[in-house]
Amino acid sequence: MRVMGVDPGLTRCGAGVVDGAPGAPLRLVRVTVVRTAPADPVATRLLGIEAGIEELIEELSPDVVAVERVFSQHNVRTVMGTAQAAGVAMLVAARHGLPVATHTPSEAKAALTGNGRADKAQVANMVTRLLRLDGPPRPADAADALALAICHVWRGGAQARLTAAQAAARTARTSRTRGGAAQ
């Protein structure tokens, strides 16, 4: 499975692509940070993020996009920019027909380190070890994007199977209900 992880942000939007499967070695495909100028209007910055993610999806053909789920912080302005960047990433993925998953920072930290409260250095260290890199990806947005991708490789498959099973069960119930009403 090829997963693109996106750590959304208006100034720095981390994007990392990883190949892997649960129980198999992981492989780094690419990691980058899409940057926008803080002085630019928000709409222009969002266009820049869209173009950067679009280019990566077209070039690297991920199977799924895992985006950091925005959580409430004290700074509403920061949350708004992060949410807007996350929305752009989801929109680009949907435009390409790719499934989108969201994971909280705590979920990604727990998946990689076993501790949902791990600090950025611990996460970067585990990303470095798991992908057999010479050094931690920089800036932290790059490491966080890879952490999201790895989290999804390990946890996303099980979640996707559960979601598919639930959808199949709903369809079966609907079919029985409709079939019973028609008789």
So which residues are the catalytic ones? 7, 68, 141
* Single-letter code of the amino acid located at 177: T
Q: 113, 109, 14, 25: which is closest to 65 by C-alpha?
A: 14
Helices 105-113 and 120-130 pack at an angle, to 10 degrees, of 50
131 contacts 153 by C-beta, under 8 angstroms: no
Instruction: Kindly state the DSSP code that residue 135 receives in the 8-state scheme.
Output: S
Q: 63, 64, 67: which is closest to 49 by C-alpha?
A: 67
Q: Can you say how many angstroms the Cα of residue 77 is from the centroid of all Cα atoms in its chain? A: 22
In b/e form, how buried is each residue of 45-61, taking b as 16+ CB within 10 angstroms?
Answer: bbebbbebbbebbeeee
What radius of gyration, in Å, describes the C-alpha atoms of the chain? 18
Instruction: Kindly state the DSSP code that residue 69 receives in the 8-state scheme.
Output: P
